[in-house]
Structure 1
Amino acid sequence: MTLISEAASAPGQLAASLAAGVAQISDDQTVSFQQYTKSTLPIDGYVFWVATGTSQQFSGSLHVLTDRHQEEDQTIAANKMVFTATEEVSQLNAIAPGTMWVGSWNVDGTTLQVAFSETGANYQQAGLWHYRGFAVYPALSSQLVESAADLPPEPIVSNSLPIWLSQTTFGTTTVPVYPSYLVPDNVVPPYIVAHVEPDMTEAPSFPIAQWPGNPVSPNQLVQMSISQLAKDNVRLTLYGFTNQMAWQYLAMLIDYSVNTDNFGFGNTPVPRDEKRTQVEISALAMKNHSDRRLVLPGSRRRHCASPDPLRRIQFNHRLDGASPHDVHCPSCAGFLLESLMPQYPLAPVPGGTTTTLDVTAATVIKNAPGRLFTVSVLVAGTAAGAVYDSVATTGNTAANQIGVIADVAGPINFNAMPTAAGIVVVPGTGQTLAVSWS
């Protein structure tokens, strides 16, 4: 190394003096940082941070500013922290959406967990780096867990959010859907944000709870189902969507409502354009939204201390007087819904909306939830065929079969039978069929 480069890399007199001052006022303290990785619950998108077991010590000075607040639901001392280091802490500078470093610091006998969200106002000649953030609020401390075993086995939310997070595919296009306020760092379009307005959820009927039996122990809750008619106000914000994409996505939601009865529309939704600007590039973002008032009849389940979350639930009583039956919702798995209020204009169209002709071999009629109306046997063949609630032409059994196609020419009415997965028709030997569905 040359003398010039050595001089350029050596700390200046100002930096050396400031470093000595930091060491003196901090008494050469070090702060222990623990690495966490991001874990998102697949059902409702709730975010937790799981400790990895990796820790590191960083030297510097930690300043604490405490501001006490008394609110309706908490009394909190908000601790704003400024960590001043004499060397750049690359771990705190890195943009890594799935990783976070959390510092631990004892204040008045209490251990604070400190996460940093801001850095800047640094002079290179000074040789100091400042990192700012707040200690983790007590109400949010549950989102930092020691291991994956501490993650909750069930959804957190009680609203319809799991339904919207599962609505990612329309036509041949797939886009991610994120919960509001939990959009990942620096995500680029296209994507959708689902926001369920907390103060707008209404329930015109009283909840009906079913207790499944005795708890495993006096300190553990057991699985319990609650059935209640409810209404949510939902805002879906679409980024990176053209006019045609926005309308196709809306059409998919209407089709899903018709064919599953998981929810009904309480208004007439329409895409609305929004203006989001950035003066540096003199352009507008591709952003629009639509507000939906939705009727959500169904069951919201709660369970705790169970190795296997519920996937199926038995209704012994329905508000519309229908007979008991199983309701299975594979898409949300934790928000099982059952329609009680068919409404115009989303009632199924008599006879179906689509016809598939000349079916002579096993065919996926629809690869999403739908309704089967009529199978017309044009050529009787020599053996009976079958219809399955499925999205594949292989692997089907009596467990997912919904009908038999007799080897007799003529129409077979399936009365708008709903399917949870899709519609697969398997003609019998020599049969030719026409299928109406929606």
Structure 2
Amino acid sequence: MLPFKGQCLRFFLNQTANSIDDHSQAKYENLSESYKEFGGRIGEHNLRSSHENFSAMQDQRADAKGTFSTLEDGYNKDAILQPHDADIEHVIAAKDIYSSTLLKAGTTDKELLDAMNDSGNLIFTNSSVNRSKRDVPLGEFLENSVPHPDKPGVRVMTIKGEQYELNEEDCNAALEQAQKVLNQHKSSAAVEIGMTAVKSGATMAVQQVVGMIVVETIDIFMDEIKVFSKEFKLFDEKGMVQNVKETKERLTQRLTQRFEERQIWAKAKTLGIEAGVSGALSVIPQILISMATKIPAFALGLIREGTLSCVRCVRIMSSNDENKLQSISIIMASTASAVVGLYVGRVISTGLASVPLLNQFNSQITAILSGLVVTAVPLVAIYVFDQNKSKFTFALGNKTTAEA
């Protein structure tokens, strides 16, 4: 049974690590993607037009067209910008924002799109200016302009033979605002990266404590199963009730001693989860003790049901049933081991749900402990049957025999 314990432990640890990986996967999956690949994966329209901030500005432009009003040009607020000449401009290009490894590592796709389309990074400007600038940084774009001969602080940009005026102060203000909101998103991403690291470490630390409890409990429980299968007597002078009582007391004593030896309480205090571990120390041992006390009944039930199942299968094989395999599968599905598995799993899961610390790992712990018990029951049944077969009563036809 030792390989089974190691397998269960690896399964428990892997499930917890996987949950952390799954939690972080959404933030890390775009680290190796180019901007073009990112757009292809989420849809080009989702990069801009479908975002709520971008969409709101589209509605604002449409309303301005309907009311024949003007819009404010973020690069030249003194100019008159007609809505049919206006485009929505990313002051810091979306592609440039996407190039930030910090943002990609600390955000999900949605959060990254929020950074690109933050209202502080969006302005209205002339469509020719917008299309000429494209993904070029604003400072580099302005280098292609010249000072206006008559207007201080105004630069003239020539695009396809047409001249457009850009106000240096307005451009700097727009860039400063865009950089401010981008820095806020980067700060949030940095905090998220740090919190993810702390949360992952804390989760693994808590998982380690819970894992220690489970492993130590399994270790002791397996020793008791060995003793039970080889030395436990169902029909000795003490009787079943007294034997079960002694087993329960022995388990409780050994579990308490083992938890003290492994300093589980000290680790719990370091993590601030004393209350959770207190519940765990109470619930997990009691669950296994409860299962241990029921193993005699489970073993006897398995012997009885196993015998009946064999008889039923033989009858089916010797019958004229056209669906023998299906009939046998129905019998096997209702065997005692299957019923025990469902019962034990429900009992363990219900017990774990009462302790928040353990409930975080409910499915993993339930799978391990129920698997342990279900594996133990058939082995115990074999030993019990072999050691006490002379005590059982078998019926053949109308004759009943019992050996002393």
- Which TM-score band applies after superposition, normalised by the shorter structure? under 0.3
TM-score (norm 2): 0.23
Name the larger-Rg structure. Answer: 2
TM-score normalised to structure 1 length: 0.22
Say which structure, 1 or 2, has more relative contact order (CA 8 Å, 6+ apart): 2
